[in-house]
Amino acid sequence: MKTKEIKRRGTRGITLIALVVTIVVLLILAGTAIAMLTGDSGIMTNAQKAKMSTELAGYKEEVELYKAEKYMENIEFEETSLTAGKENLYYNTQESGETGNIKTIIPDISDVYIEKLEVIKGKLLINTKEKDEIKIAQEIGIEVNPYDITEDGVLVSSDGNLLLMDEETGSLTIPETVTAIGEGAFTNLEGLKTIIIPSTVKRIEKNAFRYNKTLENVIIQEKEGEGLEYIGPGAFYGCSNLKTINLPDTITTIESECFRGCTQLSNIKLPANLTVLTAHSFMETGLKTIELPQNLKRLDGSCLMGTALSKIKLPPNLSSIGGAALAIPTLQEIDTSESNYFEYKNGVLYTKDFKTLITAVSNVTNITMENKVETIRGYAFTFCNKLSTIHLTENVQNIGEGVFQNTNLKGITVDPNNDYYMSDEKNNLYSKDGTILYRLFDTGNVTIRDGVKNIKLGALRSGIKSIILPESYVGDTTIGWNIFPAIEYLYLPKNVNSFYKSTYFSVRTIEVSKDNPYLQSINNEYILSKDGTELYWVKSDLTEVNIPESVETIKSNALLYVKSQEIELPKKVKKIENSILQYASTKKITIESQISEISASAFSDANNLSEVIIHKKNDGTLTGSPWGCPYGDKAIKWDN
């Protein structure tokens, strides 16, 4: 009995295994069959492509027949005048009162293609972002438009902007129907190496190619004196592989930060009609040579800061040079032989009357300042690393930002007859009344002297571990950038009445005096107004940000450099000020429906921000989109 039972079980086991194997084989065969039918090269897919090709070829033929008929009716018919779409039909010999549309030309057109096909200048064009349609249309000679172009000819930010790029060469030619490349149109798009911009394009808008790290060549065409006129702020910011770009003389405006961070851009010839080189426009580029046009009148702040220039020649009409415009670590010579406004002497650039000191070149070892000097421009000695001491002459009365931030400086002395500045026994520099600190050479645990109300940019350098501020300190009255160095802890006394994140962003932890009537700190991670409605500061190394629910206004730079990938603003937030996510790691921010005001540059320099969710109807009450977001409008998503 036992033997028989064992045999039965064994037989049943073999049957189950065979059944499982059979099912697996059938599934494999079914999968193969499905793939053959539906894959990219499947029978059904190929049949659909063949149908599409036949259909589109037929439509193209009908357009050609329609043009032939119109010419036979009237020899004055011009095929380039033929225009047709879903709701319109026009040609030059059209009779008065005659109406029609694309269906008049192609009677059997399907409903799908009524939405996609149009005739422009006598040629059939398909508006599509589907790759199969694009490929088939190109094969049979139908022009393709995957772009979103406004009625004014602006190519807007869209995921379809690279669909016509040659994938082998990375080359793309902008269509001549485009008059402007819109804000953020090609931001962060990978694969684009060469772009050809026709003479019809008059403007390249803000952030158009920002952080496009594969872009190498920009060819800007000019035709009969017509071409590009305007390049917007940050248009090529961070294009770290950009090697060549021609700037035709039709260009009259290059806005701020336009080429900032283009480290491979080694030489440039500026347009002849350019009169202003705007702030930060070529900052931190790889420029080794630059030709300034004869008509140039202004070099704005930091326009050439951090470039690789060793020599520069100032044109005769240049009359204004802003702070840090020539703060260049490699600069060794300034040619003023043709200048009507500046004089170069002993490694220092002055105005002709010697009343303003503009900058000193990097290889200067000693400065004998002209006694007439009244003003020292910002960042004048930033890259003078061989300079150990500076003596301020009698008449100096105005000092710009960051003048003494050179880390190799050992001390600053002041003429005893100077009525505006003084130095102490350690050669630290203060205003004459002791209320403003310009440069401190103390290190370690530092106590700022009593009476100081304000600390200037560059005053505090590396080597400081902690800072004790006096009760007299009230905070900077203007926005200062990174005034406090990277220290672990800072205590703000009760009289601090102004606060900017950009001033304190390197500090790890900030505590506010409980007696301060203007500010409060929450867990030493958030600084708010005393009533809790305004957010000023979020600890930069936070990977998870939970803004207090009482906040109604996000102040400028409040979330500067934060590490949090996603941030959800509280429901009460009504207003967002400028550059709140500057240089932050944040990829996504969610904004609730009570928002009523977003500043024009709210998301400027938020280089990782690719998704802005707004829980509000896009009814026109909230204007200004994309508010400086480098990705443009494709990042803005309205959630009704």
Mind listing the pLDDT tens digit for each residue in 576-613? Answer: 999 999 999 999 999 999 999 999 999 999 999 999 99
Q: What span, in angstroms and rounded, lies between the C-alpha atoms of 313 and 303?
A: 15
Distance of alpha carbon 95 from its chain centroid, rounded? 51
pLDDT tier, 43 (very low <50, low <70, confident <90, very high otherwise): low
Q: Is residue 181 included in any domain, yes or no?
A: no
Which pLDDT value is given to residue 18?
Answer: 72
Check whether the bond before 626 is cis (ω within 30° of 0): yes
> Could you tell me the two tokens for 316?
């005769």
- Looking from the CA of 597 toward its CB, the CA atoms found within 13 Å total 10
**Spatial CA neighbour of 53 closest among 164, 142, 181:** 142
Residue 32 banded pLDDT, cuts 50, 70, 90: low
Q: 513 and 589: one domain? A: no
Question: Residue 450's pLDDT is what?
Answer: 95
Sign of CA dihedral 73, 77, 80, 81: negative
Q: Has residue 520 been placed in a domain?
A: yes
Rounded mean pLDDT, 210-217: 96
DSSP 461-518: -TTEEEEE--TT----SS--SS-S-S-SEEEE-TT-----HHHHTT-SEEEE-TT-SS
Residue 392 domain-assigned (yes or no): no
| Amino acid occupying residue 225 | G
* HSE-up (13 A, CA, CB side) for residue 482: 12
Kindly tell me if the per-residue pLDDT of 549 is higher than 50: yes
- Determine the average pLDDT of the residues in 239-249: 97
- For residue 6, pLDDT beyond 70: no
CA distances (Å), origin 249, targets 135, 225, 269, 275:
38, 8, 10, 12
> For residue 242, how far is the Cα from the chain centroid?
15
- Greater confidence, 297 or 40? 297
What angle do helix axes 43-73 and 131-139 make, rounded to 10 degrees? 50
Last residue of a domain, one of 108, 127, 146: 146
Round to whole Å and give the CA distance between 510 and 478.
20
**CA distances (Å), 577 to each of 210, 483, 627, in order?**
22, 21, 10
Q: Which of 37-41, 196-200, 263-267, 354-358 has the lowest mean pLDDT?
A: 37-41
Q: Pick from 131, 146, 161: which residue ends a domain?
A: 146
Query: Is a pLDDT exceeding 90 seen at residue 569?
Result: yes
- First and final CA of the chain: distance in angstroms? 75
Domain range enclosing 577: 546-640
106-146 pLDDT, tens digit each: 999 999 899 899 998 899 999 888 888 889 988 999 988 88
Mean pLDDT of all residues in the chain? 91
Non-local (6+) Cβ contacts of 328 within 8 A are 304, 305, 306, 307, 308, 309, 312, 362, 383
Structure tokens at 620: 């026109």
The CB-side HSE value for 101 (13 A sphere, CA atoms) comes to: 13
**pLDDT higher than threshold 80 for residue 22:** no
What local confidence, expressed as pLDDT, does residue 31 receive?
65
- Tokens encoding 75: 């020899």
Last residue of a domain, one of 146, 170, 199: 146
pLDDT of 438 strictly over 60:
yes
Beta bridge partners of 125: 118, 143
For 24, the enclosing helix (H) or strand (E) is helix 2-38
pLDDT reported for residue 33: 57
What average pLDDT does range 263-289 have in this prediction? 97
Residue 499 lies in a domain: yes
Assess whether 609 and 550 both reside in one domain: yes
CA 230/CA 588 separation, integer angstroms: 31
Cβ contact 359:327 at 8 Å: yes
CB 538 within 8 A of CB 558: yes
Phi, psi of 502 (to 5 degrees): -60, -25
Say if residue 349's pLDDT is above 90: yes
pLDDT of residue 37: 52
Res 41: pLDDT:
54
Establish if 316 belongs to a structural domain: no
Q: How far apart are CA 275 and CA 253, in angstroms?
A: 8
Nearest to 278 by CA among 213, 234, 317, 343: 234
Q: What's the pLDDT at 34?
A: 58
Q: Which of 11-15, 185-189, 329-333 has the lowest mean pLDDT?
A: 11-15
pLDDT of residue 38: 53
pLDDT tens digit string along 304-337? 999 999 999 999 999 999 999 999 999 999 999 9
- Of all helices (H) and strands (E), which one includes residue 358? strand 356-360
Which strands make up the sheet holding 597-598, listed edge to edge? 519-522, 526-529, 534-538, 553-554, 575-576, 597-598
What's the domain count of the chain? 3
H, E, C per residue of 609-640: CCEEEECCCCCCCCCCCCCCCCCHHHHEEECC
Beta bridge partners of 145: 127
Percent of the chain at pLDDT above 70? 94
- Which helix (H) or strand (E) is 436 found in, with range? strand 436-439
Q: Are residues 102 and 141 in the same domain?
A: yes
Average pLDDT over residues 177-195: 94
Has residue 568 been placed in a domain? yes
Domain membership flag for residue 397? no
Average confidence (pLDDT) over 87-100: 92
Residues 481 and 553 in one domain: no
> What average pLDDT does range 22-26 have in this prediction?
73
Q: Confidence class of residue 640 from pLDDT cuts 50, 70 and 90?
A: low
pLDDT value, residue 158: 84
Which bin fits 39, alpha (ψ -120 to 50), beta or left (φ > 0)?
A: beta
Pick the closest to residue 364 from 381, 376, 347, 345 (CA basis): 347
CA distance 101 to 510: 67
Say whether both 555 and 503 belong to one domain: no
Same domain, 481 and 575: no
Tens digits of residue pLDDT in 441-492: 999 999 999 999 999 999 998 889 889 899 999 986 566 788 999 998 899 9
pLDDT at 615: 95
| 369 pLDDT above the threshold of 90 | yes
Residues 570 and 602 in one domain: yes
- Secondary structure letter of residue 77 according to DSSP: -
* Between 202 and 166, the higher pLDDT residue: 202
- For residue 439, how far is the Cα from the chain centroid? 33
Residue 500 is assigned to a structural domain of this protein = yes
